[in-house]
Structure 1
Amino acid sequence: MGQVKILSKSATARGHFASCCYFLSTPTGDRDAEHDSRWRRGATSESILRAARYDMPMMLAVIGGDPERFKPFVELYHRASEKLGRPVRAIGVHSTGYVADTDAQAREEFWPEYKRLRDRIGTERGWPPLKRANFDLQADHGSLYVGAPETVARKIVAVVNSLGISRFDMKYSSGTLPHEKLLRSIELYGSKVIPLVRDILG
Structure 2
Amino acid sequence: MELGISTFVETTPDAATGNTISHAERLREVVEEIVLADQVGLDVYGVGEHHRHDYAASSPAVVLAAAASQTTRIRLTSAVMILSSADPVRVFQDFATLDGLSNGRAEIMVGRGSFLESFPLFGYDLNDYEELFEEKLDLLLRIQQSEIVSWNGKHRSAIHELGIYPRPVQEQLPVWIGSAGSLESAVRAGKLGLPFVLAIIGAVQPLDYAEQVHLYKQAAAEAGFDVSKLPIASHSHGFVAKSQEEAIETFFPSTFARTNVRALEKGTTPYTRANYDEACSFEGALYVGDPDTVAKKIIHLRKHVGVTRFFLHMPHGTMPHQDVMDAIRLFGTEVAPRVREEVQRWEQSQR
* Match of residue 114 from structure 2: none
Matches within 5 A, 1:1-202: 10-11=41-42, 12-15=44-47, 36-37=107-108, 38-42=175-179, 43-64=181-202, 65-88=204-227, 89-140=230-281, 141-201=283-343, 202=345
List per-residue Cα deviations over 1:46-92 (Å, max 9, x = no partner): 21122122220101110031111111111111111111111121111
The higher-RCO structure (CA 8 Å, 6+ apart) is: 1
Instruction: Look at both structures and tell me which one has the larger radius of gyration over its CA atoms.
Output: 2
**Aligned-partner Cα distance in 1 for 2:244–2:290:** 5
Query: Runs of 4 or more off by more than 4 Å in structure 1?
Result: 4-9
The 1-side partners of 2:188 and 2:300 are apart by 27
> TM-score, normalised to structure 1's length?
0.84
Question: Mean Cα displacement is larger for which, 76-85 or 111-120?
Answer: 76-85
Q: Cα 1:93–1:14, aligned 2, differ >3 Å: closer, same or farther?
A: closer
CA 1:6–1:96 in structure 2 vs 1: closer, same or farther (change >3 Å)?
Answer: closer
Counterpart contact for 2:241–2:327, Cα < 8 Å: yes
Contact 2:3 2:310 survives alignment (8 Å): no
> Taking every aligned residue pair, what percent have the same amino acid on both sides?
32
For residues 118-171 of structure 1, the C-alpha deviation after alignment (integer angstroms, 9 at most, x for no partner) is 000011112222111111110112110001111100000000001111110111
CA contact (8 A) 1:10 1:189 kept: no
- Deviation track 1:173-197 (CA, whole Å, cap 9, x = no partner) reads 1112100000001110111110010
| The 10-residue stretch of structure 1 (79-88 or 45-54) with the greater mean CA deviation from structure 2 | 45-54
Distance 2:294 2:284 in 1: 12
Q: Is the 8 A contact 2:2 2:309 kept in 1?
A: no
- Name whichever of 172-181 and 48-57 sits farther off: 48-57
Secondary structure in structure 2 of the residue aligned to 1:36? strand
> Contact conserved, 2:2 with 2:308, CA < 8 A, in 1?
no
State the alpha-carbon separation in 2 of the partners of residues 119 and 5 from structure 1: 31
Answer whether contact 1:40 1:51 (CA < 8 A) is retained.
Answer: yes
Name the CA distance, whole Å, in 1 between partners of 2:272 and 2:191.
41
User: Equivalents in 2 of 1:170, 1:36: separation in Å?
Assistant: 17
Counterpart AA for 1:56? L
CA RMSD between the two structures: 2.3
- C-alpha contact 1:94 1:168 (8 A) present in aligned 2: yes
- Aligned partners of 2:190 and 2:2: how far apart in 1? 24
Letter paired with 1:76: L
Unaligned runs of 5+ in 2: 5-37, 49-73, 76-103, 109-174, 346-351
Which residue of structure 1 aligns with residue 52 of structure 2?
none
Corresponding position of 1:30: none
Q: Indicate if the aligned counterparts of 1:99 and 1:189 stay in contact, CA closer than 8 A.
A: yes
C-alpha deviation, 1:36, in angstroms: 2.8
